[in-house]
Amino acid sequence: MASTLHSQPLALEDRSLAHLLYGLMACFPLFLVPAALSLLINVYQPQQDSNSTMAVHLRWQRWSIVGLFAVILVGYLASPQWLSTTLYVAGAVWFGGRVFKGWLSLIEGRKI
């Protein structure tokens, strides 16, 4: 009887898309094109259960990319060069940390 309980495989969520998007996000220093492509793919994904692991990671990715673009825009509009450079560097470090934290959580199967 115990063998029948464990014989059915557990339904696992396919996380390959999230891994692909984190990979694209990790390439953000390349003219921001991979991060923008990741955002486009992310936005056009069908809505999932809002509490699923994939939905949480997709939302984390969207807000990370939007935050990076907001910091870059503010840095572009800032007139002193030292302020622009500081914002760019701070935004890149912040975004890199979010990608790292999110990807590790996804690998471990945890929500953020």
Domain assignment of residue 65, yes or no:
yes
12 confidence band (pLDDT: 50, 70, 90):
low
Structure tokens at 61: 């990715």
Instruction: Judge whether residue 71 has pLDDT over 90.
Output: yes
Residue 42: per-residue pLDDT: 92
- Of the chain, the percentage scoring pLDDT greater than 90 comes to 64
Structural domain count of the chain? 1
Q: Report if residue 4 sits inside a domain.
A: no
Task: Output 32 or 5, whichever has higher pLDDT.
Answer: 32
pLDDT at 6 over 60: no
- Specify the pLDDT at position 74: 96
Q: Residue 63: its pLDDT value, please?
A: 96
Residue 1 domain-assigned (yes or no): no
- Asked whether residue 2 is domain-assigned, the answer is no
Q: Which of 58, 14, 13, 66 is nearest to 36 (CA)?
A: 66
Structural domain for 49, as ranges:
13-108
* Domain membership flag for residue 22: yes
Question: How far is the C-alpha of 23 from the C-alpha of 46, rounded, in Å?
Answer: 20
